[in-house]
Structure 1
Amino acid sequence: GDEFMNWDAAERQVQNYAMKVGFDLVKRHLEKNKHDEIVCHTFECKTSGKYKAKKKADNEDVCECKSAKVNCSWRVNLNLSGGTVHVTLLNKVHNHSLYKKIQDVSSKHRRLSPEMLNEVEFLVNIGCEA
């Protein structure tokens, strides 16, 4: 499998892959050793798992809410071994549609452009109110 020099490089590669393919990631599991060093890290598709209601209520009173969780099985496990980070498991299967331009639909990727930030700063500096 793939190997990386450090955790930052590994996470960056996983993030870039997800954006290229068209899905969002979540950091699901992190394990550290007794020296507080990360030794295992799992990333999953944002739609992994199933919706679980936090509120305990009678079934008659519960509305059926639509959830983004569709039990997607995409996941990657990364482990530190011999000073390098290795991919020890990669399940590439998604059970949902992927987005060609995930950055356009995902709140995680939405950012103000430098031009927008400059305009906001200009308007604030001249005392413009909304």
Structure 2
Amino acid sequence: MRSYSVEKTIRKNGEHSVVLVDEGLNIVEEVALFLQYLEGKGMALNTTESYCRGLKEYFTWLSREGLRFYEVNKRSMISFIDFIKSEDVGKKEEKSARTINKYLATVASFYRYYEGVVLTTFPLSS
């Protein structure tokens, strides 16, 4: 199973940012593009960092399940919810419904972004 971490960076223009990296310090490009999109919308660093932490857990779960992000279906998300509830995610305490919903909202935003990218890149023919 791959492990991931959230790393703070400074861009060439001096702006602070965050990226998700794997154990080999390789940037997870899918997440980097999404976070760049959020920054472009004017989201604060704390907000993008929160999204990145949520996606860290999501990509850890994907690795554990042997899935790529584009292979996930609604049914497999139940396993992700169980993973979130485990003591290995975040603080070592029982997760509230609010916390679980925050993770799910992060993942949903990530997929909405990629849905927009796919439809823009490969528009449906009329």
Q: TM-score, normalised by structure 2?
A: 0.23
Please identify which structure carries the higher helix content: 2
Bigger relative CO (Cα 8 Å, ≥ 6 apart): 1
Please identify which structure carries the higher strand content: 1
Q: TM-score, normalised by structure 1?
A: 0.22
Q: Which has the larger radius of gyration?
A: 1
